[in-house]
Chain A
Amino acid sequence: MGMQTPVATGRSVTGIPTGRLAVWWIVGSEIVIFGGLLMYYIMLRNKFDFWSESSAHTNTFAGALNTFILLTSSLFIVMAHYYAEQKDHIKSFKYIWATIGGGLCFLLVKSMEWTFEIMSGYTITSELFWSFYYTAAGIHAVHVIAGMVIMGIISFDVLQRKNMHRVELIGIYWHFVDIVWIFLFPLLYIAK
């Protein structure tokens, strides 16, 4: 469907690039979704002490490792944005893929972690704490995957020096995914 980009897309009355406004809107929507989930968790957690017994079984080391991985990958996407601004499309492309690599490592650690936990009998239906654990981390992981896919698509545009402004935009999204994890980590792994 050959669509011509409308003139409207190029306007910017506020001076803020339209793409950035759109990403902030998306991030805002997601904050409320995760916020609702986490509020629910916190309220129930306060009510039921027996949860601390379940949460003792989460793998804090894996959680900490994943936190480090995500933070590093956020650094990589910042570098990718820097090089995009410098018009160095090759370096930008490489750093985008480094970020995707970070996401992949995150998912790998998580898969191993979950496999072990499920085999130890801690499944999504075994107890409410675990229901939360898998649901919250699972929805987060879906967002990680989505981010990786979008980054991959953008990287190929970047290689052709097209739509370089989108590196910043996916960077904002990726930082948000990172921040959600930074909330999840203490709630799921540290609060014991």
Chain B
Amino acid sequence: MSSSTHAAHHDDHHHHLSFWQKYIFSTDHKVIGMQYLLTGIFMGVIGGYMSYVFRMQLAFPGKEVPFFGLVTAAEYNSLITNHGSIMIFWFAMPVLIAAFGNYLIPLMIGADDMVFPRINRLSYQIFLLSALILIASFFVPGGGFGGAWTAYPPLSAKAEYNLTPWGSSLWLLAVALEFVAFLLGGINFITTLMNARAKGMKYTDIPIVLWMIVIASILFMASVGPLIAGAIMLLFDQMIGTGFFDPARGGDPILWQHLFWFFGHPEVYVVLLPAMGIVAEVMTTFSRKKLFAYKTVLFTTIATGVLSFFVWAHHQFIAGIDPRMANIFVVTTVLISIPIAEMLFVYIATLYGGSIRFTTAMLFALAFLATFLIGGVTGIFLGASGADIYFHDTYFVIAHFHYTFVPIAVIAVFAGLYYWFPKMFGRFMNEKLGKIHFWGTFIPFNTIFLPLFFTGAAGDHRRIFTYANFPQLATPGLQDLRIIATYSVVAIMLFQFVFFWNFFYSMFRGAKAGKNPWNANTLEWVAPSPPPHGNFDVFPEVYRGPYEFSVPGRDQDFWPQNEKA
């Protein structure tokens, strides 16, 4: 069956969709994308609030935290556990993959929707259920799960150890449901990208962000299975008393770690790839330059994805695995830095010879590169097993992964939101406020985590609710660094109000935007802003790649994909 070129179905029969049909039970990919975006942002706010609370406890131990109260040792563990879990599973993944993926894929390939809209809706509903179950876990007797987002047994398996019988199982159930939601969502991403492309769109005409989202989905699908099996086993250990991870009964706690990290490592690329995709779209548009070496980007992405399945035990160097095994993972882990470095260099090279405009979206995209470079390089300290002996479970690790995760889940996301906002809402966000938001995010981000490299290197270990008990760590110098980090958290939170104001105000009152306000090339800029149900009056056909900017001999410095030669 070939793609049809005639006009898309309009909702002629659907003049009067009720509020419920239009916004709550919609099957339209754009509405579902928005649902994921808003739910993800809401959860991200909760996760951010949690980090504010526990950092206040660390800076001023034993003092009441404004807007929370006194933080007990048990609550502290629950806060850090759920902060991590929320940020990865209920903020980064839904926003990067499900929100941007759902919104952009049909638009950028010139289609009217995803291929299976009802499965799409189901995936969101399961995701929402998982979020509600997680939130419920905070309010049950014993409180929320506090065994760290990695949930290592025996602590996570037995209530007599973790003291959160309800919280542990609800947390685990929420995570398992989130996995199911994303597996379902993945069905649409891959089938739609492969089969529903506009006429003429070859593989190399596909915008990089779409490749990234789909490859990320594949990585997720291939890596999460063993952990789902592990989650079922852990749930049984928790609820019916099996001994899958109980050494006294023949089980092995280390095998949980393997199941977890076999997923856990590819997972970081599952979130990295969409972020890099967003950055590519923003960078090319605002430097008026073709993406440097598109095919190289694609191949290094696939190489990174494949290699990512062979590095997982670097999270377990000290865990009691056979020390000989550790050496294999040092080799794979340090070598995976190569395709990633290559991708980053290619992105930087795209700027060469450009004509760079510093819109807010572009500022965030460039900041992604600058900060992710720190995250990547500091990873090498951890991949070098000998050094990891010291750095494992210290704040050095925390600083490293926030220098990767925050660029991925926050900085790149803002780049994408500022960039596609005009398409989503038909209006511009305010650039002045955007710049204030940018600097108010970028600077405090660095002043939170740079000090933590030093406290970690000085010995601050993780998941500790106060360092007052450790004489070598309870020094004024180290406490000053912790306080600087905490004040920076408060600052970054305050500046996010600027974003929320800008986002919601501009939705209704921003300056109007046309179809293609940035003079970009990809197909989403062909549809009206915002696109109606069905997206396109006439389905576009594709005649060239997505990054034909500044082609010599042409008046315009851009050349939309759908423009006839």
Interface of A toward B, CB cutoff 8 Å: 1-4, 6-14, 16, 18, 21-22, 25-26, 28-37, 39-40, 43-44, 47-48, 50-51, 124-125, 127-128, 131-132, 135, 139
Contact = CB atoms under 8 A, between A and B. Distances in A.
Given A7-B4, A131-B236, A36 B226 contact: yes
B73 interface: no
Interface string B183-217: 10011001110111100010000000000000000
A11 B106 CA distance: 12
Interface string B503-514: 000000000000
Contacts of B11: 4
Nearest to B199: A13
B189 to A, nearest CB: 9
A29 B227 contact: no
A108 B192 CA distance: 40
B191 A18 contact: yes
Given A28-B221, A36-B229, A13 B195 contact: yes
Interface size class of B (residues with CB under 8 A): 35 or more
B27 A1 contact: yes
B263 to A, nearest CB: 9
State the majority secondary structure of interface residues on A: helix
A90 B240 CA distance: 46
Contacts of B243: 125, 128, 131
B250 interface: yes
Interface in B507-565: 534, 539
A30 B226 CA distance: 10
Contacts of A29: 183, 186, 221, 224-225
Nearest to B18: A1
Interface in B384-428: none
Contact of A25 (B201, B221, B233): B221
9 contacts: A4-B14, A6-B111, A8-B106, A22-B191, A36-B226, A36-B259, A36-B262, A43-B255, A124-B236
B195 A18 contact: yes
B111 to A, nearest CB: 4
Interface string B234-256: 00100011111000011110010
A31 B225 contact: yes
Which 9 pairs from chain A and chain B are nearest by CB? A32-B225, A36-B226, A6-B113, A37-B229, A36-B229, A8-B196, A8-B111, A33-B225, A128-B250
A7 B225 contact: no
Nearest to B252: A44
B2 A11 contact: yes
Nearest to A50: B250
B475 interface: no
Residue among B117, B243, B250 having the largest count of chain A Cβ atoms under 10 Å: B250
Interface string B1-25: 1111000110101100000010001
